[in-house]
Amino acid sequence: MRISEDVKKWLDDSKDKIIANYNRDNMRASGDFESSLKTDVKVSQTNVIGTLVGAYHSLFVDQGRRAGKRPPISVILKWIDDKRIVPTDISKPSLAFLIARKIGNEGWKPKNSYPNGVISSVINQNEIDKLLISLSKVAATNIRTEVWQTLG
């Protein structure tokens, strides 16, 4: 079924673009974001369902985090280690606490070249609409072929 193959290709291409954007903006810390991105296509008699899933923090990588609650200090400590940050006048736990407090108070917005987010710049309504138009042409061709085969 060509539609499922087209959906899988679109998802894989989107994943590759997201990773390229992420790396281009030097957002990598541990590499967990990149390695967590997985695509899948499930086909039933009536549906083709494509998914792209990632780690929980993918949402924050894309959209940032609003002010309110502090992120866990353990997560910030891991980020400090992953980024190989070596504080000079303060301990790592103190630095992690200060970063978490600032994020809790002010929120955090990713500083990247993609104003709509590193993921949302690739997968958005406009791109989904383009995919649907392409798939509708494939479906119309498939139906036309089946009708001709039935009549012929």
Task: Supply the DSSP string of 70-111, one letter for each residue.
Answer: PPPHHHHHHHHHHTT---SSS-HHHHHHHHHHHHHHH-B---
Residue 93 inside a domain? The answer is no
Residue 47 inside a domain? The answer is yes
Residue 69 inside a domain? The answer is no
**What is the average pLDDT across 124-142?**
82
At residue 47, the pLDDT reads: 86
pTM, entire model: 0.76
User: How confident is the model over 8-47, as pLDDT tens digits?
Assistant: 999 999 999 999 988 888 888 888 899 999 999 998 888 8
Residue 104's pLDDT band (boundaries 50, 70, 90)?
A: very high
Residue 125 inside a domain? The answer is yes
CA distance 132 to 13: 15
Q: Which two tokens stand for residue 41?
A: 């296509």
Using CA atoms, how far residue 75 sits from 37, 56, 61, 94, in Å, is 19, 12, 14, 13
Residue 81 inside a domain? The answer is no
Residue 88 inside a domain? The answer is no
| Domain that residue 53 falls in | 2-64+109-151
State the total domains in the chain.
1
